[in-house]
Amino acid sequence: MSKLKAAREQKNLTQEELSEKSKISVRTIQRIEAGTDPKGHTLRALAKALEIEETSLQDSIISPDTDNEVFPEIIAEVKEEQQPEINYSLVKIINLSSLLFTLLPPLNILVPLILMFTMKQRNNLVREIISVQMIWTVMAPIVFMLGIFFKPGPKLTLIIMILIVLSNVFIILRNAAEIDRNKKLYFRLKFSMI
């Protein structure tokens, strides 16, 4: 068993909880628990999240002879825990669900959030999708108010409204295409709002 998995289980954390706490992807945590040694930023972030020394995460495989004294309760209660892989078709559906509610901004956040829980896709990719929609929902009225502030007239006001809605449609469709091609978002934030 890897030292990361032993330390994680000792703290009663799932891979997903450790991912949120350390800001390291679940996939990277899975690789380290499978035998890859953590290095650099990843090693520091995981050690800090687990509140242990960095050296205790290196040499990832625990040998049964030497470390049974260190983690006896963990060795005794080892259960193979498989984190479900990200289902990219469900992630794409969650992303595209915002498209139906571009004219009703609170719903373009609420519906993907509900789908995230009902489809059991509580991963960073879905959180990024919802965060992008939250930022758009905040920015759209600000841009609209700035447009009205300059008193462009009713025709230009309508054009501004249409451009704001089309910008969200473009963001959603471009992210859906990027999920298909590269399994990530094209428009994303470096932080999660949820």
Confidence of residue 194 (pLDDT cuts 50, 70, 90): confident
- At 59 the pLDDT is 61
| CA neighbor of 108 nearest in space, from 86, 84, 137 | 137
Give 69-125 as a 3 state SS string: CCCHHHHHCCCCCCCCCCCHHHHHHHHHHHHHHCCCCCHHHHHHHHHHHHCCCCCHH
Q: Where are the domains of the chain?
A: 3-76, 88-182
More confident of the two residues 65 and 131? 131
**Averaged pLDDT of the chain:** 83
Euclidean distance between CA atoms 120 and 117, whole angstroms: 5
CA distances from 193 to 76, 113, 128, 130 (A): 39, 12, 8, 8
Fold of domain 3-76: 434 Repressor (Amino-terminal Domain) (1.10.260)
Using a cut of 0.85, tell me whether the model's pTM lies above it: no
